[in-house]
A = this chain, B = another copy of it.
Amino acid sequence: MGVTKRHIHPMQANKLADYAKVLSNPARVAILNYIGDCEGCLCKDISEKIRLSQPTTSQHLQVIKKIGLLKSKFEGKSQYYRINVDKLNELKSLFQEFFETTESKCC
């Protein structure tokens, strides 16, 4: 026990849960907010802004990137992170669909 039983649930539910998990940590939400605001989005800047250590910030960035919400580009020693707007819109649609179908089925 102790592991989420993904295989018994509809694929749709697993997918939404995966996306929600990325947003389920306030540091990652704060990172997405900050990246939206800034131009040069370096890990170092982000970690100072959100006041978490560089390794911790880096880990969160990997989590967000893994699901596709972040693009990045190296320029010399610096890595610039940007939001993947296409993926962001995919998330937006999925959540919207979930909320709307759930709402419409309510008695």
Give chain A's interface residues, CB within 8 Å of chain B.
4-6, 8-10, 12-14, 16-17, 20-30, 32-33, 36-37, 39, 50-52, 82-83, 85, 88-89, 91-92, 95-96, 98-107
Whether B10 pairs with A30 at a CB distance below 8 angstroms is: yes
Whether B105 pairs with A95 at a CB distance below 8 angstroms is: no
Residues of B with C-beta under 8 A to A85: 103, 106
Number of copies: 2
How far apart are the CA atoms of A12 and B30 in the complex, in Å? Answer: 9
Q: Which listed residue, B21, B30, B107, touches A20 by the CB 8 Å rule?
A: B21
Residues of B with C-beta under 8 A to A25: 4, 17
Whether B36 pairs with A101 at a CB distance below 8 angstroms is: yes
Interface hub of A6, A100, A107 (most chain B Cβ within 10 A)? A107
A-B contacts, 12 of them at CB < 8 A, read A4-B25, A9-B26, A12-B29, A13-B29, A14-B26, A17-B29, A36-B104, A89-B103, A92-B99, A92-B100, A95-B95, A95-B99
